[in-house]
A and B are shown apart, each in its own frame.
Chain A
Amino acid sequence: MIDRDEVLHVARLARLKLDDGEVESMARELSGVLDHIAKIGELSLDDVRPTSHVVEVVGRLRPDEPRPCLPREVALEQAPSVADGGFLVPSPQA
């Protein structure tokens, strides 16, 4: 139901590296799950509104008042790689 190419495409979208063996088992496992899930395709749901939030509330806006920020050392504390007061990463291509 989901083939190798689709698995590779989705893995790319999710920035997940999959070893060759993992691609096969992922395709198999996902297909199995999707087979079960596919049953919702049989339901008649045309007039039904989707639920994005079970909570029936709106608004909940925040007043525009400053709150204390983290000290820089704390912000950078858990960073794997730091330089020039910031988080060091490989440059994006292009």
Chain B
Amino acid sequence: MSAVEYEPVIGLEIHIQLATATKMFCGCALSFGEPPNTRTCPVCLGLPGSLPVANARAVHFGLMIGLALGSELAPRSIFHRKNYFYPDLPKGYQISQYDLPLCLGGRLGEVRIHRVHLEEDAAKLVHVGASGRIHGSDASVVDFNRGGTPLAEIVTEPDLRSAEAAGEWLRLLRTTMRVLGVSDVNMEEGSLRCDANISLCPAGSEQLGVKTELKNMNSFRFIERGIRAELARQEAILRAGGRVEQETLHFDPASERITSLRSKEEAHDYRYFPEPDLVPVAIDAAMLDAARAALPELPAARAERFEREIGLSADSSHLLAFRAELGDYFESAWSAAVDPAPPAQALANWISGDLLARLAGGQAVASADGEPGGAEGQGEATGTDPSSSRVSPRALATLVGLVAAKRISVGAGRQVLDRLVADGGDPAAIVQAEGLAAIDGGDELAAIVAAALAAHPEAAENVRGGNAKAIGPIVGHVMRETKGRADGGAVTRLVHEQLGL
């Protein structure tokens, strides 16, 4: 008897804070860690008589997001009030969008977008524990600096089928938003937040299962683990013959436990109605043109250009295009007019391999010998952006050019890179100063080869006898003597010459 197979059905609800100068509905500058309640005004404090006025730039960013996702942009969209009581909601309602959002539909990668809309962020509630002031019960302090920050809410269709797929897609979304320049999209800082809607459905069945909402996961790893934990929880329930309850859940990464966030209050009835204090947003040709003009090259298009026009491998193209900082660095290096010029693929490999490895402390993505691809590293957490290193794009291009032209050996090249990472500078000068120029021939090398052959007579005999692999110790000897500067090919040629092969 085979057990029923369950298929995960996952949708994501993402909030990104927009990188405008001011809040969504008032002119307060956005806050980055200022002392509490120093970035407020009558509007974002919800003082009596205050009125909201929508931020033009937030709408502009919303349009850019819609264009990048291939959504339909509503010619006319309106704001709605979402009514509920909470201390971080100064008006007792959040201004959001309901049935006429800014963008509908769209797609990013393998996932369809349901909608994108604009809204304002809530303030921050900080728990201060038992204060003894209010009957000894717990108290919280509200800081309204964050309240009113513009948010774009992106809701996907439930097209994701695994926790890994969700994590990967979220990274894609993050890169896209970063490339657009509409948000810092930093999970640790709270400018990117993600909730997941999760259900299981029997394989082959059309019927959707009951879905739960998983909230408050604030890192990529927690999201994947949380989704995995919830899928496991739901499967266990279903296999035991039970029913999954529709509820809002919280994932505790320390204990891997899923707990219910349902409070003793009833489910919210938000009583949405059109916001009477704001007029509809109408998209005109000028706004559309401005949004289109502001669109940078998006990752998919960039990858295609790398492959088609520059001739990088598919894997290298994808890697550099979807990690914008690597792509930017590559293009700067590629366009630096150095002589000898580096081949494109070699340049790509050095960046994603040896350079990144040195910057990230050992997490190589690909080796410099030309083996591209491999899983994406954990760089997003450690921020390995080559442009913030001491290795200028021009310097790297020069280095790769020198190696490709065999002016220095690969080994010497790595030594030069170590020097560049530590102190910056110019590769040619370093090669000069440390005497790393390749030895690829001439009397000096011939003499060293002769000495190596004399020092390893058995190896020499074996090579003469046709065992190519036996050349190892001879080459090793030469490399040690030349401090890695000898060109491997030249050494092999001289060995064969001197052995009369």
Contact = CB atoms under 8 A, between A and B. Distances in A.
A85 B282 contact: no
B269 interface: yes
B54 A60 contact: yes
A91 B127 contact: yes
B281 A58 contact: yes
B141 A87 contact: yes
Contacts of A87: 37, 87, 141-142, 144
Given A84-B36, A90-B139, A94-B264, A66 B54 contact: no
B203 interface: no
Contacts of A72: 35-38
B382 interface: no
A94 B262 contact: yes
A64 B276 contact: no
B133 interface: yes
B139 A89 contact: yes
Contacts of B37: 72, 75-76, 85-87
Interface residues of B, number: 58
Contacts of B138: 90-91
A55 interface: yes
Given A52-B274, A58-B279, A67-B41, A83 B56 contact: no
Nearest to A85: B36
Interface SS of chain A: loop
Given A60-B279, A69-B39, A85-B35, A75 B144 contact: yes
B36 A15 contact: no
A60 B41 contact: no
Interface string A20-54: 00000000000000000000000000000000110
A13 B142 contact: no
B423 to A, nearest CB: 41
Interface string B140-177: 11111000000000000000000000000000000000
A59 B281 contact: yes
B35 to A, nearest CB: 6
A58 B140 contact: no
Nearest to B43: A67
Contact of B263 (A84, A88, A93): A93
B28 A61 contact: no
B45 interface: yes
Given A58-B76, A86-B36, A65 B21 contact: yes
Nearest to B76: A58
A89 B78 contact: no
Interface string B186-198: 0000000000000
B22 A67 contact: yes
Interface string B63-106: 00000000000001010000001110000000000000000000
A90 B22 contact: no
Contacts of B311: none
Contacts of A93: 263-264
Given A62-B53, A63-B56, A86 B263 contact: no
A60 B275 CA distance: 14
A75 B29 CA distance: 16
Given A60-B54, A70-B40, 11 more contacts: A58-B279, A58-B281, A62-B55, A62-B56, A66-B27, A72-B35, A88-B141, A91-B127, A91-B140, A92-B86, A92-B87
8 contacts: A69-B29, A75-B40, A75-B144, A86-B36, A86-B37, A88-B128, A90-B140, A92-B140
